[in-house]
Amino acid sequence: MKLLERINPELLEILDRYRTWFDKQDDKHLLKCDDRRIQGHTVETACGNEYLESIISDIKHRGPPEVANVCDFQHCDVPEIHRKKSLDLCLELSAYLGAKFNAVHVYYPAGGFMGWHNNWDVPGYNILISYSEDEKGFFRYRDADTGDIVTMNDTKGWSCKVGYYGGKKESQDKHYWHCAGSFAPRQTLGFVIPNKEMWEMMIEDILD
C-alpha cells in the first residue's frame, strides 16, 4: 500500500463538506458494536502478531475481517441521517473518481479496529481515503516478500492510500494481509477497482 503525497483541493472540498457536518453530530449513536465481532479483542490484539499468525493458518478464512470494532454506516444500526449523509458522500466520491461503487465507509471509535484479513474474496486495485484528527490511527500490513510487518501511521486530516489486494487463487505473494486501528476517532472510505488503467487514472484525478 502506498501513501499518496497529496489530495487535490477539489476532492478535499467534497470531503471537508462532509466532515464539517459530521463534526457537529454526537457520535454516541455510532459507538454500538456487535460484541460477537469484537470477540474479546482490543486494537492491540486484533492488530498484533499472534492474531496474524492464527488467521494466516486458518484455511477457512473468507477474506473480510473476522474481528472488528467499527461502525459501518451502511450496515450497522445508525441514525438514518448518518446513513443518508454517508450514502450521499459515497455517491459523490464515486462520481468524482469514476468508480462504479464504494466498497465501505466505516467509523472507528477510540480503540476501534479491523483485525488482520486479506480481502481475497474481492480482489482488485484499491483506494482508501481516511480522516484522522489526532494522528492516532494506523494501517498495518505484512510484506509478502519479506514477512516484515509495516505500520503506516495516519497523518493529520485526510490522507489517501492505494494498492492491490490479490484473490485467493492468485499466488501467495499477491495475498495482502492487513489490518487497521485507531486510538482516537477515525473514518475510512474504500473503493475497489477491477481495472488497473482505470485505477491509475483515478489516482491522477486524486493528485491533480
pLDDT digits (tens, 9 = 90+) for 16-57: 999 999 999 988 888 776 666 899 999 999 999 999 999 999
% of the chain residues with pLDDT over 90: 79
Domain annotation for the chain: domains and CATH numbers = 2-207 (2.60.120)
Write the CA distances from 98 to 52, 119, 203, integer angstroms: 34, 22, 11
Q: Where are the beta strands (DSSP E) in the chain?
A: 2-3, 68-69, 71-72, 104-108, 112-117, 124-132, 137-142, 149-153, 157-165, 178-182, 186-193
Q: Dump pLDDT digits (tens) for 54-86.
A: 999 988 999 999 999 999 998 888 999 999 999
Q: Dump pLDDT digits (tens) for 145-193.
A: 999 999 999 999 999 999 999 999 999 999 999 999 999 999 999 998 8
**Which pTM was predicted?**
0.93
